[in-house]
Each structure stands twice: as structure tokens, then as C-alpha cells.
């Protein structure tokens, strides 16, 4: 493979002059080696970020990322890309804010444009209960040092003129507003991390499903894959919706259930919405992409599902709610709709943890809201894998919290967790 | 749209008429249970990709709880049955084995 080419305005001009024939592949696709110091299962954002920070922060570079499908083809490539950090609990605020702040400079860090767009995220309060919940989060965020504010309906209208403030069913009573929240390009986040990992000499191996985990005396020694058996010193399982399946292959069970979450996009229209709006009471959230499409997300299904297709009724529910909140979109046609399998924990908080198998670590449970967490999660996971113990960011998110009753309850504030 | 037949009232109900109740046949942690048993009962789930036994509530119908055996990969329903049982009935198990010869009840 050719050495990495730095992406720049100059490179763009040079390539324009020669018909764009000189761009090297963004990452290499080697055959697996016999052994790696660390194997990461899952080339979604979290797996790739874990590998990246292992190399960057801990100088562990003999690393492979194994992906059963294609890179970024899981939830990372299916999500609605909302990024915010105004969560309620201290542990959440810490890791999500770390993540949000890493997003601010990620394009420069990776030399890859992830199109982070801090356009502001607004969570509408449409019941009194919700209004009080958001005021409580706002108070917690002040103490935690997370910049957010509770705004009035008039401020909501100013920021987003197309909202119908007065209802009829659920009038807007206020909103939790994070001005430095926003969106990023989902694929670019995965691709940017993959390119940087590849540059450090790591192996990213697609079409390579891990089918079993080999242990000796309670310690991991390797994995069986569709491309043969591979040895490893440590193993990081970062497979979101498939966490239960892979954990079973490693011999333990998780406090996780996998359900479908759906999203859809409309035909492109002229710019009409330059913030992200979330309406959690009615299960709908919306933003406008650079192409002009309205990107819409809905609620999760109520039953376990691995089919990557959700229930039609949730689409209907979401669209109904959004048409009421944004009357001007009522005649838009929808272009496509899809689903991803999200990994839900009982307290709606993630798991970054050691496991019953020595040398095996797991990062999962991000559920409906982990895109925003990719950089921070990768950072914290790399620390956990490298040191065999969690740093400050991951410390509260261990598996033992379910046994010990130390939940990080984020389910109280919002029906959906984005 | 998922449809399940309520074994009590016999109606084939749309999922909008039902409320999901999660994994079935969990062993309830008894009074003197320790932290690990409670953790098992309250949080740890088999969450399989494939055959899944689950609880459903016919909430906008006859109001009864019942059980269903369903495939989480294909959405096939193998059968629904009474909630008054600790394990799936034989006819449901044989229907599963007929359609999933390699399936083992974990
Ligand atoms: C419709 C939808 C909307 C969402 N909206 C938002 C949002 O607005 N904001 C937000 O913050 N979050 C959102 N999320 C959540 C977010 O997408 C996820 O939390 C996040 O992308 C998870 O990333 P990941 O890397 O952990 O998982 P994934 O991207 O799913 O990656 C896991 C990878 O593991 C691979 N894998 C699985 N099993 C194996 C195996 N045995 N061997 C090898 N590889 C395997 C999979 O193929 C997959 O590529 C949304 C999710 C969905 C589905
Ligand atoms: Zn009934």
C-alpha cells in the first residue's frame, strides 16, 4: 500500500489536475496475521475508535479490527448522528462531554473531514413533567461544567421558526438547548478512524466474523473467524446489537436486550431547519442534512429483534408527531427508511467493562444514543484495555453495577436517549 | 406488523394491541436471594439471535398475560401459550424443532 497521503486543499488541486487517479486507498485490507496483541471485534465507530486510541494514547499498535460485514455497516452507518452531552448523571456527563469535545477537533486530529457541525441541539419540553426533568438536567449540567441552558418557547421559535409552539396536543413549554451540540457525518467518522488506524499499521479485516472465542484456563488466547483462527493477547468486544451473541460465544451473558430502532429521510428541500430538534414525548427527532433531506428518527420497538427492520407503526407514530410539530413538512415524501439493532441496558447507560473471561473486555449498551459517544468511548475503552483497569471515564460503567445496584439511570429524563 | 394470537381470547392481535413483557421463564429470585441471583433475575438476559420465549400482555384486549415463542431473526412465530406454565409446552417445542432442527434449548 502507498503511504498515506495527507488530505489538503493542495492535494485536491493536484488530484484535480490528474483526473483523481492518485488517491491511495484510505485503509489497507490485509489477510489476518497469526497473532495480535489486541483484537477488536466490530468495525463500527466504537471499535475503530478503541483501536485508534490504543495506538495513539497507549502505543499498542499490533492491533486488528475484525468486522463481519463492512466497515461502518452497523449502527454507526444507520444513525441520525445527533451529538450532545447534556445528560443527567455525573458519569454520563463526563464521558459524553469528553466525547463532544473530542468531536470539535476530530477532523484535524484524523486529517479527515468528519463534518462536525455544532449547529445546536434542542430537546423540546412538551409536558410539565418533561419541563421539570430538563430543568433538573440543566441544574446538574451547571454543576458538572457542561454548557447547556433551559430556554423559553419564544427562544425556541426564534431558533426554529417552523415549529408550531402552541400544540395542539403537546404545546412547547420550553427546551433544553445545547448550542455546541450538533451532528457529524456518520460514515466519515468510521472512515476517518479506519484510515488513521491503518496508517499506524493496524489491520482492519472486513468480511471476517468471529464465530468463537478460545480460552485457556479462563484467559483468552484467540478467536475463530471466517478467515481462520487468530491468536491474541487481549480481546475487545465492541459489537453493539450483537453483544449478546458474541458474549455467548465467549461464555457469559449480559444485561442487554437487542431491539430495532428506525430512521428515515425525506426528499431534499431548501434549507428550513438549521438546528437539531428532539421531541421525546412524541418520539420524533429531526435535522436537515447538507443535501437538504430531513433526517428523522423515531422510537425503538418493544420486542427483541435482530432483523434490522422495525415495526411500521413506529414510523407512523413518529411521522404523525412530527407533522403536528412541524406543519410545513406534511406534504413531503419520504425517500428511504431503515433500521439498526440497538443494545439496550436496564439503566439506559453503556457498559465499558472487564468480563468474566480474563483478557476480554466489552464495550456495549450504547443503545439508541452512542454515535455521539464514539470518540470518548474509544478513549475510555483503550485505557481500560491497555491498563487492564478502567480510568476515571469508564470506572462507573462496569458490569458489576447491575449486581451492586449502582445504576447510572438515564432512562428517567427521556423516552428516547439520543 | 407483528401479530400474535392470544391463547386466552383467541384473537389474532396486532402488536399495537399488545404490550411486550420481555424474556419468559425467568426463575424468580426468592426472598433470601443474594446479589448475584437478583442480578440474574432482574437484568441478565439470553437475548438470542433466533428462538426466543417471551411474555406478552394483551393490554388492549382481554387483559391477560401470555407467552410466545418467536424467532428474533426472521420474526416467525412458533406458537403462543398460557402464562400458567414454567416451561414451554411440548407442542410448541416440537414445532420449533421441526422448523429449527439444530436448535438446542439453552
Ligand atoms: C436508527 C438509529 C438512529 C440512531 N441515532 C443516534 C443519534 O442520533 N445519536 C447518537 O448518538 N446515536 C444514535 N444511534 C445509536 C448509535 O448508532 C450507536 O450507539 C452507535 O453507532 C454504536 O456504534 P458501535 O460501533 O458500538 O456499533 P456498530 O456500528 O453497530 O458496530 C458494531 C459492528 O460489529 C460487527 N459485528 C457484530 N458481530 C460480529 C462478529 N461476530 N464478528 C465480527 N464483527 C461483528 C457488526 O457488523 C458492526 O459493524 C442511533 C441508532 C440507530 C439504529
Ligand atoms: Zn386476549
pLDDT (tens, 9 = 90+) of chain A, 418 residues, equals: 455 689 999 999 999 999 999 999 999 989 999 999 999 999 999 999 999 999 999 999 999 999 999 999 999 999 999 999 999 999 999 999 999 999 999 999 999 999 999 999 999 999 999 999 999 999 999 999 999 999 999 999 999 999 999 977 889 999 999 999 999 999 999 999 999 999 999 999 999 999 999 999 999 999 999 999 999 999 999 999 999 999 999 999 999 999 999 999 999 999 999 999 999 888 889 999 999 999 999 888 999 999 988 898 889 989 998 998 999 999 999 999 999 999 999 999 999 999 999 999 999 999 999 999 999 999 999 999 999 999 999 999 999 999 999 999 987 544 455 5
Q: B42 vs A402: CB contact, 8 Å cut-off?
A: yes
Q: Is A145 exposed, middle or buried (0-12, 13-18, 19+ CB in 10 A)?
A: exposed
CB A380 within 8 A of CB A396: no
Q: State whether the beta carbon of A37 lies less than 6 angstroms from ligand 1.
A: no
Size of interface A-B (CB pairs under 8 A): 73
Could you tell me the distance, in angstroms and rounded to a whole number, from the CA of residue B84 to the centre of ligand 2? 14
Residues in chain B: 106
Give the span between the Cα atoms of A228 and A219, in whole angstroms: 20
Q: What is the pLDDT of residue A1?
A: 47
Q: What is the pLDDT of residue B106?
A: 73
Could you tell me the distance, in angstroms and rounded to a whole number, from the CA of residue B89 to the centre of ligand 1? 36
Give the span between the Cα atoms of A249 and A211, in whole angstroms: 7
**Which one of A44, A114, A241 would you pick to mutate in the ligand 1 pocket, going by the greatest count of ligand atoms within 8 A of its CB?**
A44
Q: What is the pLDDT of residue B15?
A: 95
Q: What is the pLDDT of residue A265?
A: 96
Name the CATH topology of A31-81+186-255+347-413. FAD/NAD(P)-binding domain (3.50.50)
Residues in chain A: 418
Give the span between the Cα atoms of A98 and A375, in whole angstroms: 8
Q: Please state whether the peptide bond connecting residue A168 to the residue before it is cis, i.e. omega within 30 degrees of 0.
A: yes
Nearest to A257 among B2, B45, B75 (CB): B45
Give the span between the Cα atoms of A334 and A269, in whole angstroms: 12
Q: What is the pLDDT of residue A5?
A: 80
Give the span between the Cα atoms of A386 and A388, in whole angstroms: 6
Nearest to B43 among A255, A307, A313 (CB): A255
Name the β-bridge partners of A264: A296, A337
Q: What's the mean pLDDT in B58-76?
A: 97
Three-state DSSP class for A327? helix
Q: A307 vs B72: CB contact, 8 Å cut-off?
A: yes
C-alpha cell at A61: 499498535
Residue with cell 497521503: A5
Three-state DSSP class for A227? coil
Where does chain A hold its CATH 3.50.50.60 domain(s)? 31-81+186-255+347-413
Q: What is the pLDDT of residue A414?
A: 47
Q: Which residue of B has its CA nearest to A258?
A: B47
Give the span between the Cα atoms of A107 and A116, in whole angstroms: 8
CB A329 within 8 A of CB B19: no
Q: Which residue of B has its CA nearest to A402?
A: B39
Q: State whether the beta carbon of A85 lies less than 6 angstroms from ligand 1.
A: no
Q: B49 vs A307: CB contact, 8 Å cut-off?
A: no
Nearest to A303 among B2, B35, B44 (CB): B2
CATH architecture of B3-26+39-99: 2-Layer Sandwich (3.30)
Ligand 1 atom with the smallest distance to the CA of A47 is 25
Give the ipTM: 0.95
C-alpha cell at A361: 473486555
Ligand 1 atom with the smallest distance to the CA of A363 is 26
Domain assignments of chain B as residue spans, ordered by start:
3-26+39-99
Give the span between the Cα atoms of B4 and A302, in whole angstroms: 14
Give the span between the Cα atoms of A36 and A204, in whole angstroms: 12
Name the β-bridge partners of B92: none
Strand ranges inside A79-128, DSSP E: 82-83, 121-125
CB A44 within 8 A of CB A76: yes
Where does chain A hold its CATH 3.30.9.10 domain(s)? 113-181+258-345
CA distances from B47 to A51, A343, B21, B44 (A): 27, 10, 13, 9
Q: State whether the beta carbon of A181 lies less than 6 angstroms from ligand 1.
A: no
Question: Which residue out of B17, B47, B54, B77 would a mutagenesis test of the A interface target, given it has the greatest number of A Cβ atoms within 10 Å?
Answer: B47
Give the span between the Cα atoms of A308 and A301, in whole angstroms: 11
- The secondary structure of residue B13, as a DSSP letter, is E
Name the CATH topology of A113-181+258-345. D-Amino Acid Oxidase; Chain A, domain 2 (3.30.9)
Give the span between the Cα atoms of A390 and A372, in whole angstroms: 20
Amino acid at each position: 500500500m502507498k503511504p498515506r497521503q495527507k488530505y489538503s486543499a493542495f492535494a485536491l488541486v493536484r488530484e484535480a489536475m490528474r483526473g483523481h487517479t492518485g488517491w491511495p486507498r484510505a485503509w489497507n485490507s490485509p489477510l489476518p496475521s497469526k497473532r495480535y496483541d489486541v483484537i477488536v471485534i466490530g468495525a463500527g465507530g466504537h471499535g475503530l475508535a478503541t483501536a485508534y486510541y490504543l495506538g495513539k494514547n497507549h502505543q499498542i499498535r499490533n492491533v486488528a479490527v475484525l468486522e463481519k460485514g463492512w466497515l461502518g455497516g452497523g449502527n454507526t452507518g444507520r444513525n441520525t448522528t445527533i451529538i450532545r452531552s447534556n445528560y443527567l448523571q455525573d458519569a454520563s456527563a463526563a464521558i459524553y462531554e469528553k466525547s463532544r469535545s473530542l468531536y470539535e477537533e476530530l477532523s484535524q486530529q484524523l486529517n479527515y473531514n468528519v463534518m462536525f457541525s455544532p449547529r445546536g441541539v434542542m430537546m423540546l419540553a412538551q409536558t410539565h413533567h418533561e419541563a421539570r426533568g430538563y430543568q433538573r438536567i440543566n441544574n446538574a449540567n451547571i454543576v458538572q461544567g457542561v454548557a447547556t441552558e433551559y430556554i423559553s418557547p419564544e427562544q425556541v421559535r426564534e431558533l426554529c421558526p417552523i415549529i408550531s409552539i402552541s400544540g395542539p396536543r403537546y404545546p412547547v413549554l420550553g427546551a433544553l438547548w445545547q448550542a455546541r451540540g450538533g451532528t457529524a457525518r456518520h460514515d466519515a467518522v468510521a472512515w476517518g478512524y479506519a484510515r488513521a488506524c491503518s496508517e499506524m499499521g493496524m489491520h482492519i479485516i472486513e468480511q471476517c466474523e468471529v464465530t468463537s472465542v478460545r480460552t485457556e484456563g479462563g484467559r483468552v488466547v484467540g478467536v475463530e473467524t471466517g478467515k481462520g483462527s487468530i491468536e491474541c493477547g487481549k480481546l475487545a468486544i465492541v459489537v453493539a446489537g450483537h453483544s449478546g451473541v458474541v458474549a455467548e460465544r465467549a461464555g457469559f451473558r449480559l444485561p442487554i436486550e437487542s431491539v430495532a430502532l428506525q430512521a428515515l429521510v425525506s426528499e431534499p428541500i431548501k434549507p428550513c431547519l438549521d438546528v437539531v430538534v428532539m421531541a421525546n414525548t412524541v418520539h420524533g427527532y429531526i435535522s436537515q442534512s447538507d443535501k437538504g433531506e430531513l433526517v428523522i428518527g423515531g422510537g425503538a420497538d418493544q420486542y427483541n429483534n435482530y432483523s434490522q427492520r422495525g415495526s411500521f407503526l413506529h414510523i407512523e407514530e413518529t411521522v404523525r408527531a412530527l407533522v403536528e410539530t412541524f406543519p410545513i413538512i406534511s406534504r413531503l415524501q419520504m425517500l428511504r427508511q431503515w433500521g439498526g439493532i440497538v443494545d439496550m441496558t436496564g439503566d439506559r447507560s453503556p457498559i465499558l467493562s472487564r468480563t468474566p473471561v480474563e483478557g476480554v473486555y466489552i464495550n456495549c449498551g450504547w443503545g439508541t444514543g452512542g454515535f455521539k459517544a464514539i470518540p470518548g468511548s474509544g478513549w475510555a475503552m483503550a485505557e481500560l484495555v491497555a491498563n487492564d483497569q478502567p480510568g476515571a471515564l469508564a470506572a462507573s460503567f462496569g458490569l458489576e453495577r447491575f449486581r451492586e445496584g449502582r445504576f447510572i439511570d438515564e432512562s428517567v429524563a427521556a423516552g428516547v436517549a439520543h | 406488523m407483528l401479530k400474535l394470537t392470544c391463547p386466552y381470547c383467541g384473537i389474532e392481535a396486532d402488536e399495537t394491541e399488545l404490550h411486550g413483557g420481555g424474556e419468559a421463564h425467568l426463575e424468580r429470585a426468592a426472598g433470601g436471594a443474594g446479589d448475584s441471583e437478583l442480578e440474574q433475575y432482574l437484568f441478565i438476559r439470553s437475548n438470542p439471535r433466533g428462538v426466543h420465549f417471551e411474555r406478552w400482555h394483551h393490554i388492549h384486549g382481554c387483559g391477560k398475560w401470555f407467552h410466545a415463542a418467536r424467532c428474533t431473526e426472521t420474526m416467525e412465530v412458533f406458537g403462543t401459550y398460557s402464562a400458567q406454565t414454567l416451561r414451554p409446552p411440548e407442542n410448541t417445542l416440537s414445532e420449533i424443532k421441526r422448523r429449527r432442527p439444530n436448535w438446542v434449548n439453552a
